[in-house]
Amino acid sequence: MIKSKQNNILVFNCGSSSIKFMVINPDSEKYLIKGIAENLNAENPMISIELSHKSLYKDFILAQNDYKFAIEFIVNTLKAQHNLLNSLSGIGHRVVHGGEKFTKSALIDNQVEQAISECIPLAPLHNPANLIGIKIAKKVFPNIPHIAAFDTSFHQTMDETAYLYPVPFEWYTKHQVRRYGFHGTSHRYISLKAAEFFNKPIDKLALISAHLGNGCSACAILNGKSVDTTMGLTPLEGLMMGTRSGDVDPSLPIYMNQKTNMGFEECINNLNKKSGLLGVSQLSMDMRTLESQAEKGHKQAMLAIDLYCYKLAKHISSLLVPLGKLDGLIFTGGIGENSVLIRQKTTNLLKAIGLKLDQNKNANLKRGNVGNISIPGSPKILVIPTNEELMIAKDTINIINN
C-alpha cells in the first residue's frame, strides 16, 4: 500500500486529441504509472496504461471521447491502484507556449491561466488543449497545486540578435513576431544531465543539445542558459523533422500558389504534415522504417536520411556562433538516443568543428544509458535519454516547496 503524500507528481501532457500522463517521484526519479488516452474528440477513443512496466489497459475503448471522461478514467485508475491518488503532492502540466511572459515554470492561478490563454494566437493548436486539460484537472483535483511548465520558457534567455527576425520591427513590437524556440524542458534536462556527466558546474559548460524525435530541434546552451535554438515563432522552423520541413525559403507558399493554386493554409499544412522524412522518402516519417528500407536499397529513404543529417549538421555548426567553443554535443529523443546511423552520418559531417566519433562506442552503447561516444581529443559526443516528465515533476515539487 502506498502511503499518502509521498511527493509523487502527476504530469499531464494534453494535446489536441490525446492526453499523456505519468505519476513520477521526483526524488527517486522513478515512474509509478503512465499512460496515454488517444483519439479524443474523435472516433474510437482509447486508453493504454502501464503500471510499473506492466500493462493495465492496452487500447481499451473509452465509453466517451471527451477530455473530462478521459481524465476521470485516469483518476479512477489512480484510486484503484494502491490509492496512488492520495500519494500526489502536485500536478505538473506541459504547456507549449508561454510567449515572453514566462521565463520558468509557474504555479497556476487565474492570472497564469489568463496569460496562457493570451498566448493562444501563437500556438492555436496546442495552448487551447493545454488549457482544457488544466481547467478539468483543477476541477477534479481542487486541493492540489497545479504547475505549468512551458516549452518556450528555457529559451527566454536568448539575446535579441538570436530571437529577432530581420523583418519590420513593429511586427515584433505590435504582433510578438520573434523566435521563441520549443522543446525547452528537454534541452534544460539534457544540459543538467550533461553537467552531471562532466562533473562540472553547469555554468562552466558550452553545449549543443540535439533533440531528435518526431519533432526535432537543437539548442546552444552556454553556462546553463539557452543562447540560441533552431525552432522559431512556431515549431516549423529549423531542422528537418518527421513530417515538418524545417527551414525553407519564405517565398515558397506564394510560388506554390502561383504554380498549383495551392492556398497558403494548405501549403503550410503540407510543410507541417507532409514534408520532412515523410515528404522526401515518400514512404514513412519513422526513422526505423527508413533505416531498414535504406539498407535494402530504397533510394528515397536513403535520400531522406542524407538530407536529414546534412541539415542537422549545418544547424549544429551554426549554433557554435553564440557558444564560441564546444564542450559537448548531445544526442537525445527517439532518433538521437537510438540511431547509430544518424549519429554517425551527422558527426561525420562535423569534422571541421573537431568532432570525432568512436565507431565502436557508438555502435555498442546500451539503450537507455548515458554515454560518451567520442574519441579523446574531440569535444564530447554524448547520448543522454531525455525525460521531460521528470523535469516537469522536479519543477512542480520545487515550486510547491518554495
Contact residue for ligand ADP among 242, 246, 379, 385 (CB under 6 A): 242
Which C-beta is closer to ligand ADP: that of 156 or that of 387?
Answer: 387
Phi, psi of 218 (to 5 degrees): -120, 155
Residues 339-378 that bind ligand ADP (CB under 6 A): 339
CB of 181 vs ligand ADP, minimal distance in Å: 16
Which C-beta is closer to ligand ADP: that of 92 or that of 322?
Answer: 92
Nearest alpha-carbon partner for 99 in 83, 79, 114, 82 = 114
Task: Note whether 346 and 316 are within 8 A (CB).
Answer: yes
Which C-beta is closer to ligand ADP: that of 97 or that of 101?
Answer: 97
What's the number of CA atoms in the CB half-sphere (13 Å) around residue 256? 16
Phi, psi of 165 (to 5 degrees): -95, 145
| Choices 228-236, 257-265, 282-290, 349-357 (CB under 6 A): range interacting with ligand ADP | 282-290
Distance CA(39)–CA(190), nearest Å, equals 31
The position carrying cell 519564405 is 250
Nearest alpha-carbon partner for 326 in 384, 374, 371, 388 = 374
For the window 190-229, what string marks contact with ligand ADP as x by the rule CB under 6 A?
-----------------------xxx--------------
Distance CA(209)–CA(188), nearest Å, equals 9
Q: Please report whether residue 295 would count as binding ligand ADP according to CB under 6 A.
A: no
Which C-beta is closer to ligand ADP: that of 87 or that of 338?
Answer: 338
CB of 122 vs ligand ADP, minimal distance in Å: 20
Which C-beta is closer to ligand ADP: that of 127 or that of 186?
Answer: 186
Length of the chain: 402
Residues 326-345 that bind ligand ADP (CB under 6 A): 333-335, 338-339
229: exposed, middle or buried (Cβ count in 10 Å: 0-12, 13-18, 19+): buried
CB of 145 vs ligand ADP, minimal distance in Å: 27
- Residue 306 is among the residues annotated as catalytic for this protein: no
Taking CB atoms, the residue at the shortest distance from ligand ADP is 334
Contact residue for ligand ADP among 19, 88, 287, 312 (CB under 6 A): 287
Task: Note whether 243 and 334 are within 8 A (CB).
Answer: no
50: exposed, middle or buried (Cβ count in 10 Å: 0-12, 13-18, 19+): middle
Which C-beta is closer to ligand ADP: that of 18 or that of 87?
Answer: 18
Q: Residue 31 forms beta bridges with which residues?
A: 24
Residues 135-164 that bind ligand ADP (CB under 6 A): none
What nine digits make up the cell of 377? Answer: 581529443
23: left (phi over 0), alpha (psi -120 to 50) or beta: beta
Count interface residues toward ligand ADP (CB under 6 A): 13
Which of the following is catalytic: 59, 66, 109, 151? 151
Q: Which residues are catalytic?
A: 151
Binding site for ligand ADP (CB under 6 A): 213-215, 242, 286-288, 291, 333-335, 338-339
